[in-house]
Structure 1
Amino acid sequence: MSLYAQTPAILAVAPNGARKMQADYPGLPITPADLACEARACLEAGASVIHLHVRDDEGGHSLDVGRYREAIQEIRKAVGDELLIQVTSEAVGIYDADAQMAMVRELVPEAVSLAIREVAPETCDEQELSAFCAFMREADILPQFILYAPEDFARYAELVARGVIPGSGFPLLYVLGRYTEGQKSSPVDLLAFLATPVLREQPSLVSNWMMCAFGQFENACAMAAIALGGHARIGFENNTLLVDGTSATSNAALIDQAKKGVLMLGRPVADAKVARKLLRPAW
């Protein structure tokens, strides 16, 4: 049996994101209770990871630690340890790198996604970034670094090579496209990431990779990633449509659709225990 066929595929659900509102999509889960209910349904549909966003009283994006703790508590009541809970540190034009890192230090989540452009811009305090990465290692937090475009590889590789990000390889998330009105990602968008010279020259920089995509072709992008040995983040954060163009009734419907594709491609679907192993960096 090939290594490809043996490696389970992670299906991560991103149920709400930072921008969509319930006025835009009534099925969007926002409250801790709604998120817990959606987490349970997505677990049963095949998800092993939930990518968590919380909102303020007006429905806006928030990195408030108290709100995170409340949502995590409700999700844990619903699913126990059967989902890996990954919080976002996304800036959304509101939070700077210091605020993002402060949230992680206070919350000490199980896992966190960190955009290289946001926490490690050229102007960042590299000593602080290095200390933050050391903190995550000591606290056993699982980081996933986000690349918004293939050119982000160069900055990421440089930081690892100089030991600012200490370790040899990390889980990465490739974002196929931008958050713009009417954005529709394409499976072709994945090729630029996989053909990046830095990745060809230093494959160990990436312990594993996942993609997220925008619009109706999200599932097609996910299946391309799964077929090429990657993993997929799926959900209302970036897409609310099924492959036939109709509106999904829930995030679980999108996960179920993807799970069927994963099995057709000959890969098993990861559970949370496997996802935790796969998303552990090579510190």
Structure 2
Amino acid sequence: MTALPALMVAPNGARLTKADHPALPMTLPEIVTCARACHAAGADGLHLHLRDSTGAHLLDAGAYREAVQEISGQLPAMAVQITTEAVGKYEPPHQREVALNSGAALVSASIRELCRDPADVTRAFYEDCAAQGIAIQHILYDRADGELLAKTLPAELLATSDLQLLFVLGRYATDQNSNPHDLDDFLDWMGAHDLSPDWAVCAFGQNETASLAYAAQKGGKCRVGFENSRVHADGTMAKDNAERVKAVRTAIGASPA
């Protein structure tokens, strides 16, 4: 399996527009330009969301295939992960089809979204991805999502060090602002199940930098970018995604490993 990048940038997400920040990339050329700047600032991976001609969230295997080829062709040293996020628009069969047929080696998927279908269907999907060498990064919003994953994923896929997880901090807080210690319950859950996965954290709001630095201290990888926060630790607005990458890269470098 392709390992998770150490520092992935998530530059746009599914819902935000230039009204949220003028430097938010929406078209593929803008995403490529943003990815190049973020790579220069220290990111070694890109979490890819695509938009349709109206700027709305798009899950399309063909469009993903073209985008991954374009980004990888221009930035071969930058890993590209696609999203399968539903955003209330797509159902699990479509999400599975996109994951399996986009040509991407790295895919993020929410266990709670995919488990809208029966567990055996979701389990078979994970087995198909593993057979094709597609690394699914399972998005976990809380410990209950972890328990759902443990019940759904085949035992051999749960126990492997190739298991990829993303712990989301702050998403359902009242103000969507994370706290570094939101991670602690996830760490406890991994210990309870004796897991040693390839894991990363994303964090919402002004505490994004502190939360990612804490995750790095605990041995995790990091995902930074405008999808989760557009402000620095002091509350000032970032100029662009590359500036957020640089700030987190500096914070991680200052954190004891």
Q: 1:5 is matched with which residue? A: none
CA contact (8 A) 1:127 1:164 kept: no
Q: What count of residue pairs does the alignment treat as equivalent? A: 252
Q: 2:187 is matched with which residue? A: 194
Q: 2:131 is matched with which residue? A: 138
TM normalised by structure 1 equals 0.83
| CA positional deviation for 1:178 | 1.9
CA contact (8 A) 1:11 1:233 kept: yes
Q: 1:224 is matched with which residue? A: 214
Give yes or no for the alignment of 1:69 onto 2:59.
Answer: no
| CA positional deviation for 1:190 | 1.4
Note the 1:79-228 alignment, pairs <5 A. 79-80=75-76, 82-121=77-116, 124-160=117-153, 163=154, 166-169=157-160, 170-178=163-171, 182-196=175-189, 199-204=190-195, 206-228=196-218
**Percent identity between the two aligned chains:** 38
- Amino acid in the other structure paired with 1:86: Q
CA contact (8 A) 1:175 1:212 kept: yes
Q: Over the residues paired in the alignment, what is the CA RMSD in angstroms?
A: 2.0
Gaps of 5+ in 2: none
Distance 1:181 1:239, change over 3 A: farther
User: What is the CA deviation profile of residues 44-74 of structure 1, one whole-angstrom value per residue up to 9, with x for unaligned ones?
Assistant: 1111111100011111111022322332233
User: Partners of 2:35 and 2:210 in 1: how far apart?
Assistant: 23
| CA positional deviation for 1:78 | 2.3
CA contact (8 A) 2:5 2:45 kept: no
Q: 2:250 is matched with which residue? A: 260
User: What is the CA deviation profile of residues 6-35 of structure 1, one whole-angstrom value per residue up to 9, with x for unaligned ones?
Assistant: xx9811100100010112211001111111
TM normalised by structure 2 equals 0.91
Give yes or no for the alignment of 1:41 onto 2:55.
Answer: no
> Using CA pairs below 8 Å that are at least 6 residues apart, which structure has the higher relative contact order?
1
User: Partners of 1:179 and 1:250 in 2: how far apart?
Assistant: 25
CA contact (8 A) 1:9 1:230 kept: no
Give yes or no for the alignment of 1:58 onto 2:54.
Answer: yes
| CA positional deviation for 1:213 | 0.9
Gaps of 5+ in 1: 1-7, 268-283
User: Partners of 1:98 and 1:45 in 2: how far apart?
Assistant: 37
- Amino acid in the other structure paired with 2:233: V
User: What is the CA deviation profile of residues 56-110 of structure 1, one whole-angstrom value per residue up to 9, with x for unaligned ones?
Assistant: 1111111022322332233123212x11110000111111111100111221311
CA contact (8 A) 1:46 1:256 kept: yes
